[in-house]
Structure 1
Amino acid sequence: MNKLDGKTMDLVQHNIDELKKLFPEVITEGKIDFDRLRLLLGDEVDTGKEKYEFTWPGKSDCIRLSQQQSTGTLRPDKESSKDWDTTKNLYIEGDNLEVLRLLQKAYHRKVKMIYIDPPYNTGNDFIYKDDYKDNVKSYKEKTEQSMKANPATAGRYHSEWLNMMYPRLRLAKNLLSDDGAIFISIDDTELDNLKKICNEVFGEENFIACIAWHKNYASANDSKGFSSVLDYILVYRKSENFVRNLLPRTDKQNSLYKYDSNDGYGPWRPDNLSVKTYSKEYDFTIINPTTGVEYNPPKGRCWVTNKNTIDKWIKEGRVFFGQTGNGAPQLKRYLNEVQQGVVPITYWSYDECGHNDEARKEIKQLFSEPPFDTPKPTRLIKQILNISTNKDSIVLDFFSGSSTTAHAVMKLNSQDDGNRKFVMVQLPEPCNEDSEAYKAGFPNICEIGKERIRRAGENLKEEYKDKEGIENLDIGFKVFKLDTSNLKAWDPDVEELEGTLKGMVDPIKEDRTQEDMLYEIMLIYGIDLTIPLEEIQIKGKTAYSVGLGYMIVCLEDGLTLDVIEAIGAMKQSGQEIARVVFRDSGFADDNVKTNAVQLLKKFGIEDFRTI
């Protein structure tokens, strides 16, 4: 009988397994023969003493930190959730490094788009210093204290910021689907450093764009130097499988097509009939059929096509000679023939994507006083969603702040009947006791983010109440909170002999529930936390059916073979039961435990684990 070990995804072993697939001959008795690997790579190995690289104090520790397995779990919080039983959205409170570790199995290569708005390292924002030994314990201690900024006068000012960002980006990359992309907001304080670590994590060949967003519509007249009106958004793809979408055409762009000849082709606009790229075959005289006037292309240019095609267009009325028919030839460019979308450019104006003041007004409409100082406008995030997602995508934001990303996801879904799902992750950073947020009853940023989702979702349903299908809009979210393991044996902080001995009889901590343990098991197996769950009774014992019966979890005591046979009968009745999990100490006696394995195999259930 196999026991679950409580460990999250082993990224080091995963990397070794991937290397085995590419170069099986470099594996010797389970170890990597680097000399043989170097031989296979040939001249591509850089063995010189001097090489191009980007490094800083703590970088090696960052790599090791990103590969550590987690000792924590995510505990459900139904009270602060919305539509718990039906929603597919997640809101997770906790240190995002540890949360990203915990999501490695469940969301591996499943996230279509990641957007983050991390601290810009301007000297006033909080930079979390990770504990290299036990990040969960450190997180729980630090969130009870006041957060501290990373002032520019501090030693290793840039290094501290890089040490925070690097391991998180490495873990985030694993969650991106092969056709996914990450968008990162930043200003010019750390733009160059961010681009360097992204080049390393995602690969220079996967750099897509550095977008300049015009965030302010007015300059700051009190600025001592230049007034900064731009932020930047770095865009990296996971692989060449990423294909950006076209942006929707705007009413302003379509308004140029203001003519209609009632020829069945719809609205059109006049366009230049000549092009710069010269071809002798396309250099000829066009005769106006009404006036007989001859027209040649401008010097150094030619017409867009050959004479036969132009003559055909003239007969069809596709060449326009002015309103009276006495003008020079122009091409009728029909709206229905142009690309039904716009290629994104790397400058985004505030007219197109909103600005900081608009973002503050948006949040003020939801709260009487804005409880968050630096939100992004939803139009900005919607632009990113339009470019990088489809209607069923999973969207992740692990610096979620006031939950603008969740707001934007719900807004776009309400407009295009999408079913995008969001995963928000936020450290419960305490609000200053003098702040408007604290006075309004929000002790930390997470409370602001959750309340914004609640209010924004209801507002969207009201705004689009006349739209067919709006009642199906998912405006809920399941809340989970980072904590130490629910099982004593899996918690490295439980060291006392007495506690260990007691844990062999009662392995689950006293303040934890079976449902807490259920979600920890799901994380270990890599099962989506929003998958359908059902509490069922099996021969008088409470159990959980996960994923419509895919996995059965029963953590009760006094289990007999009747329970095992009942599970087998469920399998024979057509349920796709593939996995079963029990408590190791939950069997009535050792004979039941021994016979349970063979009995489940008889029913075709091979994956049988205990905790």
Structure 2
Amino acid sequence: MDYEQLPRAALVRMLQEHDAALADAGKNGIVMSYTGRAAPWQIIRQVKPKLHRIIKKVSFGEETAQSENEIWDGENLSAMVTLYKYRGQVDLVVTDPPYNTGEDFRYNDKWDKDPNDPDLGDVVPKDDGSKHSKWLRFMTPRIWMMREMLKPGGVMAICIDHRELFRLGMLMDEIFGEDNRLAIINWQKSAAARPDNRHVSTATEYVLVYGKDISRVRTASLTRGEADNKRYSNPDNDPGNDWREGNLTAKSYSAKDDYGIQSPFTGVVHYPAGNGAWRHPKRNIKGWLAGWGTDYEERDIGDGRGKALMVKKQLPDMVSPEVSKKALARLKEDNWPFVWFGRDGQGRPRVKTYLEQIKKGKVPVTYWADADLASDIIADIDIGTASWDYTESGRSADGVSELTAVVGQGHGFTTVKPLKLMKKIIQLWCRPDGIVMDAFAGSGTTGHAVLELNKEEEATRRFILIEQGNTDKGDHYARTLTAERIRRVISGDWATAKKEPMPGGFRFIELKREKIDAEAVNTLAREEMIDLLLTSYWDKAEKAKSYLRRLPAGKHRHLFAVNAKDEGFFLIWDAPDKPSALDKAAFREIAEEARQAGLAARYHVYASIAPYTGSSVEFYKIPDRVLEHIGFNQRQDSFNNESGADA
């Protein structure tokens, strides 16, 4: 490369990216290298926000509900760049990208030359020698952008199978940082062995879960059910109500809590299990042991550990019949001590775990086929590597059946993520009023899961779905399948039966090929301008992030939308070649429209110029403020244009 021919801005950028790569390598411990690799931020900076329009006939629900959810039809990297208002606002990205099976992954090799080319490209066949590097080149900028969309405490959960598991894991480690890995979830996609491998059947797939900043991530408890409580009972009429056996041994080691405890029933001296130590203070344990009818003392028994808790005047491994008789008599009474030795007195020391004192939910920390194992673990334990049985997460076959039940036969999808899996992930990592995004929305399982959870929990989660795929006939899945499934779920008009409607709605937004700039904005017709404003508005100053409710077209001269505060939004714009000025006459018309609509006396006005202003007017200049709302920066755009003049 002839560096002398590069403009100064390009040279500065190359140095910055080189330094950033070195810093990332030092911080994250890994930087992947593959054929055709380019820094993801370098690609993303060249991707331009696109013009887009709301397709009213595909959108569904009343206006307020439509404004809360979005389904985008278009290339996902361009769509995420266009969704600038949501950058840093998404709670959970959950997505199911192409697995590179030789049947599902299309690669457009123009991307490294023109990131704004929206074409899908050709399917990458199984025998393509560069299929893995192509997949990485495709995924890298998208994962980077999905991370950019997350809140500081946001989480990304990405589905994958064995074909690209290791490469995806390394890529996620590089972009998110290994320390921000929350979990590697192994979920059972089929209940029986599959004849897809002559050595080992691949009956499972994976979900890699990463936090943007693990110190700020909060993992919710799962809702407890009757099965979680079935092992709780009250055999001793404890006034604390139902309880079950709990472990007296802690996972962490402490020398002062590593000592023997003598059983008053058998005289056997018991020690903490494994390499652990007793989890409660010694003085407390001593008091609980005395509840068995005899006094305890601390004594060195020569075992190389701390002083043991021994029954007074008794030798190790034996107690007198009198001591044993007292303990057995106490066992026949009600309300046993907190430290006990089994229902027959012959076991190790353990504690009571009370149902009313444990968390209201269960923490997802162990193999979920046995729900009881996860019930009593207390807060902030790393999930690590977990296995989810199909009874917990559903099967791929369930996902296909669920889709067929909603939209009918002939959808053409043979693998669909089950609702159970998606609902479980959303429950764990998206707050009840948060935002879920899926950049590979496919058949719309993520949106369906959000709607079901909202109804079950009376929650208000929102979704953003992006889908680009086409059928063999050239029909867009976003319109014919994704939006159709969500419409049927909301209306209750399933293909197989009439179901109870669910609250919700969505805007269907078509991403156009033309990029957004000042010239493009200035050539928009009125309804196109309104579409752009509705999808770009996002008031970050609001405690509860607000968005606009569109009013019926043609009802007002200027008023086109209302926010959550009942403040009107007005557009002085008839056509690109017509005047667009907020003057005194236009303001009188605006004030009268607001009065007739019963709106607050604060006016948000879009126009090219504003000869008239006032304390009650919030003026947005066209095209400058429109571009600002969608994240377009003219100076930055010039900086990214390497063919421009030297700075």
In the superposition, the TM-score normalised over structure 1's length comes to 0.73
1:369 maps to amino acid: Q
Are 1:202 and 2:176 matched, yes or no?
yes
Are 1:402 and 2:443 matched, yes or no?
yes
Are 1:449 and 2:449 matched, yes or no?
no
1:189 maps to amino acid: R
Match of 2:264 in 1: 287
Select 1:609's aligned residue among 622, 637, 647: 622
- Residues 453-464 of structure 1 aligned to structure 2 (within 5 Å): 453-459=486-492
Take 2:32 and 2:13, find their aligned partners in 1: how far apart are those partners?
27
Q: Deviation string for 1:141-177 (max 9, x for gaps)?
A: x47xxx6311133353222212211111222222101
Note if contact 1:127-1:164 (Cα within 8 Å) is conserved in structure 2: no
Select 1:235's aligned residue among 200, 209, 213: 209
Match of 2:548 in 1: 531
Take 2:290 and 2:410, find their aligned partners in 1: how far apart are those partners?
63
| Structure 2 unmatched ranges of 5 or more | 1-7, 294-334, 366-382, 540-544, 625-647
- Residues 120-135 of structure 1 aligned to structure 2 (within 5 Å): 120-129=99-108, 131=111
How far residue 123 of structure 1 moved from its aligned partner, in angstroms, is 0.9
Are 1:119 and 2:98 matched, yes or no?
yes
Select 1:426's aligned residue among 460, 467, 478: 467
Select 2:503's aligned residue among 468, 474, 480: 474
Aligned-residue Cα RMSD (Å) equals 4.3
How far residue 419 of structure 1 moved from its aligned partner, in angstroms, is 0.8
Match of 1:341 in 2: 362
Take 2:409 and 2:24, find their aligned partners in 1: how far apart are those partners?
58
Match of 1:6 in 2: none
Match of 1:490 in 2: 519
Match of 1:270 in 2: 245
Take 1:37 and 1:367, find their aligned partners in 2: how far apart are those partners?
47
Q: Deviation string for 1:344-369 (max 9, x for gaps)?
A: 34221212111112222222322442
In the superposition, the TM-score normalised over structure 2's length comes to 0.70
Identity %: 25
- Given the superposition, is the C-alpha separation of residues 37 and 184 from structure 1 closer, same or farther in structure 2, using an over 3 Å criterion? closer
1:564 maps to amino acid: F
Take 2:397 and 2:230, find their aligned partners in 1: how far apart are those partners?
28
Are 1:554 and 2:572 matched, yes or no?
yes
How far residue 458 of structure 1 moved from its aligned partner, in angstroms, is 4.1
Match of 1:110 in 2: 89
Note if contact 1:185-1:232 (Cα within 8 Å) is conserved in structure 2: yes
- Aligned residue for 1:552, secondary structure, equals strand
How far residue 380 of structure 1 moved from its aligned partner, in angstroms, is 0.5
Take 2:355 and 2:493, find their aligned partners in 1: how far apart are those partners?
32
Select 2:528's aligned residue among 508, 516, 532: 516
- How many residue pairs end up in the alignment? 524
- Aligned residue for 1:422, secondary structure, equals strand
- Aligned residue for 1:375, secondary structure, equals coil
Match of 2:72 in 1: 92
Take 1:533 and 1:202, find their aligned partners in 2: how far apart are those partners?
38
Q: Deviation string for 1:247-296 (max 9, x for gaps)?
A: 333533321113354433221123455678575785343535xxxx6453
Take 2:480 and 2:402, find their aligned partners in 1: how far apart are those partners?
17
- Given the superposition, is the C-alpha separation of residues 266 and 554 from structure 1 closer, same or farther in structure 2, using an over 3 Å criterion? farther
Larger deviation, residues 58-67 vs 319-328: 319-328
1:358 maps to amino acid: D
Are 1:249 and 2:224 matched, yes or no?
yes
- Residues 141-220 of structure 1 aligned to structure 2 (within 5 Å): 142=119, 148-154=122-128, 156-220=130-194
Q: Deviation string for 1:309-348 (max 9, x for gaps)?
A: 3146658633456557798765332222234422334221
- Aligned residue for 1:59, secondary structure, equals coil
Match of 2:351 in 1: 331
- Given the superposition, is the C-alpha separation of residues 425 and 333 from structure 1 closer, same or farther in structure 2, using an over 3 Å criterion? same
Q: Deviation string for 1:470-495 (max 9, x for gaps)?
A: 98x5332111111145989634xxxx
Q: Deviation string for 1:496-529 (max 9, x for gaps)?
A: xxxxxxx98xx33xxxx52321232355565689
How far residue 404 of structure 1 moved from its aligned partner, in angstroms, is 0.7
Match of 1:19 in 2: none
Take 2:153 and 2:24, find their aligned partners in 1: how far apart are those partners?
29
Q: Deviation string for 1:175-199 (max 9, x for gaps)?
A: 1011101011111222222222222
- Given the superposition, is the C-alpha separation of residues 108 and 46 from structure 1 closer, same or farther in structure 2, using an over 3 Å criterion? closer
| Structure 1 unmatched ranges of 5 or more | 1-27, 492-502, 585-592
Match of 1:355 in 2: 395
Match of 1:542 in 2: 558
1:123 maps to amino acid: G
Note if contact 1:297-1:303 (Cα within 8 Å) is conserved in structure 2: no
Take 2:52 and 2:480, find their aligned partners in 1: how far apart are those partners?
17
Larger deviation, residues 383-392 vs 599-608: 599-608
1:237 maps to amino acid: G
- Given the superposition, is the C-alpha separation of residues 606 and 365 from structure 1 closer, same or farther in structure 2, using an over 3 Å criterion? closer
Take 1:185 and 1:447, find their aligned partners in 2: how far apart are those partners?
24
Match of 2:606 in 1: 581
Larger deviation, residues 267-276 vs 162-171: 267-276
Note if contact 1:578-1:607 (Cα within 8 Å) is conserved in structure 2: no
How far residue 606 of structure 1 moved from its aligned partner, in angstroms, is 5.5
How far residue 114 of structure 1 moved from its aligned partner, in angstroms, is 0.3
- Aligned residue for 1:74, secondary structure, equals strand
How far residue 93 of structure 1 moved from its aligned partner, in angstroms, is 0.8
Take 2:13 and 2:73, find their aligned partners in 1: how far apart are those partners?
42
Take 1:602 and 1:327, find their aligned partners in 2: how far apart are those partners?
78
Take 2:219 and 2:431, find their aligned partners in 1: how far apart are those partners?
10
Larger deviation, residues 198-207 vs 323-332: 323-332
How far residue 570 of structure 1 moved from its aligned partner, in angstroms, is 8.8
- Given the superposition, is the C-alpha separation of residues 131 and 32 from structure 1 closer, same or farther in structure 2, using an over 3 Å criterion? closer
- Given the superposition, is the C-alpha separation of residues 452 and 401 from structure 1 closer, same or farther in structure 2, using an over 3 Å criterion? same
Take 2:506 and 2:549, find their aligned partners in 1: how far apart are those partners?
14
Select 1:563's aligned residue among 576, 586, 598: 586
Take 2:25 and 2:40, find their aligned partners in 1: how far apart are those partners?
22
How far residue 227 of structure 1 moved from its aligned partner, in angstroms, is 1.8
Note if contact 1:486-1:516 (Cα within 8 Å) is conserved in structure 2: no
How far residue 98 of structure 1 moved from its aligned partner, in angstroms, is 1.0
- Given the superposition, is the C-alpha separation of residues 565 and 354 from structure 1 closer, same or farther in structure 2, using an over 3 Å criterion? same
How far residue 459 of structure 1 moved from its aligned partner, in angstroms, is 4.5
Match of 1:317 in 2: 336
Note if contact 1:545-1:553 (Cα within 8 Å) is conserved in structure 2: no
- Given the superposition, is the C-alpha separation of residues 526 and 260 from structure 1 closer, same or farther in structure 2, using an over 3 Å criterion? same
Match of 2:34 in 1: 56
Take 1:521 and 1:359, find their aligned partners in 2: how far apart are those partners?
36
Take 2:342 and 2:182, find their aligned partners in 1: how far apart are those partners?
43
Note if contact 2:40-2:144 (Cα within 8 Å) is conserved in structure 1: no
Q: Deviation string for 1:56-77 (max 9, x for gaps)?
A: 2332275432112525222111
Match of 1:392 in 2: 433
- Given the superposition, is the C-alpha separation of residues 417 and 160 from structure 1 closer, same or farther in structure 2, using an over 3 Å criterion? same
- Given the superposition, is the C-alpha separation of residues 190 and 521 from structure 1 closer, same or farther in structure 2, using an over 3 Å criterion? same
Take 1:181 and 1:45, find their aligned partners in 2: how far apart are those partners?
20
Take 1:37 and 1:478, find their aligned partners in 2: how far apart are those partners?
38
2:571 maps to amino acid: V
